Amino acid sequence: MSDTAATRLRRRHRSRLWATLKALIRTRVTTGLIVILPIYVTWFVIKFVFSMMRDASQWVVLALLETKWFQSWIWRIETPPDETVNIEGFLSEHPGLDWGLALFSVLLTIIVLYIIGLFAANIFGRRILALVDHVVDRVPMVKTIYRGIKQVLSSFTGDQTQSFRRAALVPFPQEKMRCVGFITNIFNDSITGEELCSVFIATTPNPTTGYLQVIRRKDITELDWSVEDAIRTVMSGGILKPDFLTIVPNKDLPADRPSGVGPINLTPPAKADDEPPGEE
């Protein structure tokens, strides 16, 4: 074998070895990233929420600790008149108290949020919140941000999800395509008596907006998904979905259909008690 042929063979061997090594490194790095990234994101979110809840109340706790009354009667710290112990310096000398202070601040924030929730649940609180909404709606740019955030957060509360009776796949925007929708009501056609559904079709990635369709119940695919699973599917663009999924409509389901698909007996939602008429 000539020197030129041997040189080309060695170069080809080195090139193949380098390509294999790069593919191996890329595969292992990708696998490591898939393992670490969810852990890191989860830790980051928990840290962010913890820090936000801590900072919301820690300033109140620190202000209380700086008072002469608290240091004298609660902590029993003897200080000269008109003087107090510097809390930041005191905490730096006792590192374990930082965690205790942070946990107490988070607990205080949770208690305050609970009290606000109780306040918002009664009639007086609802009227105050309605007044706040009315005032905010008159501020040009603030109302857009306020409404958007409130709609997104409200979509995950029980009051909003109670109106979603069941998840379903709806033929939209054409017969051969399916969209995730939420059955909001079951009723009969006023002329034919055929069973109809009002379905809210949520958009991705914001499930608070979408389309309202009235469809024959037999033409949709009812699925035994929870509302949370369906919302998670919409927001993730289909990346996260429940295990059971079929696009066979109700009318074409076999007699021995699985328990997770098909129509079930859904009664119309209960109507709220009539409120007393307000004064003119």
Question: How confident is the model over 224-270, as pLDDT tens digits?
Answer: 888 888 888 888 888 888 888 888 888 888 878 777 787 777 665 55
Q: What is the pLDDT of residues 219-234, one digit of tens each?
A: 888 888 888 888 888 8
> Is residue 260 in a domain?
no
Q: What is the pLDDT of residues 62-78, one digit of tens each?
A: 777 777 666 666 555 55
Q: Number of folded domains in the chain?
A: 3
Q: Are residues 105 and 172 in the same domain?
A: no
Over 50: is that where the pLDDT of 96 sits? yes
Q: Are residues 113 and 131 in the same domain?
A: no
* Contact residues for 15 (Cβ-Cβ < 8 A; gap 6+): none
* Contact residues for 178 (Cβ-Cβ < 8 A; gap 6+): 169, 170, 171, 172, 221, 247
What's the CATH number where 190 sits?
Answer: 2.30.30
Selection from 267, 261, 239, 231 nearest residue 249 by Cα: 261
Residue 278: pLDDT band with limits 50, 70, 90: very low
Report the distance separating Cα 264 and Cα 93, nearest Å. 65
Over 60: is that where the pLDDT of 202 sits? yes
Q: Which residue, of 68, 100, 121, is where some domain finishes? A: 121
271, containing H or E segment: none
Residue 109: pLDDT band with limits 50, 70, 90: very high
Give how far Cα 209 sits from Cα of 88, 101, 155, 244, 266, Å.
Answer: 48, 42, 10, 25, 24
Q: Are residues 40 and 74 in the same domain?
A: yes
Domain that holds residue 241: 163-252
Q: Are residues 7 and 108 in the same domain?
A: yes
Over 70: is that where the pLDDT of 154 sits? no
| Neighbouring-strand partners of residue 261 | 223
Q: Are residues 172 and 242 in the same domain?
A: yes
pLDDT at 5: 67
User: Do residues 196 and 216 lie in contact, with contact meaning Cβ atoms separated by under 8 Å?
Assistant: yes
pLDDT at 32: 86
Selection from 225, 259, 258 nearest residue 240 by Cα: 225
Q: Are residues 13 and 91 in the same domain?
A: yes
Give how far Cα 39 sits from Cα of 42, 46, 48, 53, Å.
Answer: 5, 11, 14, 21
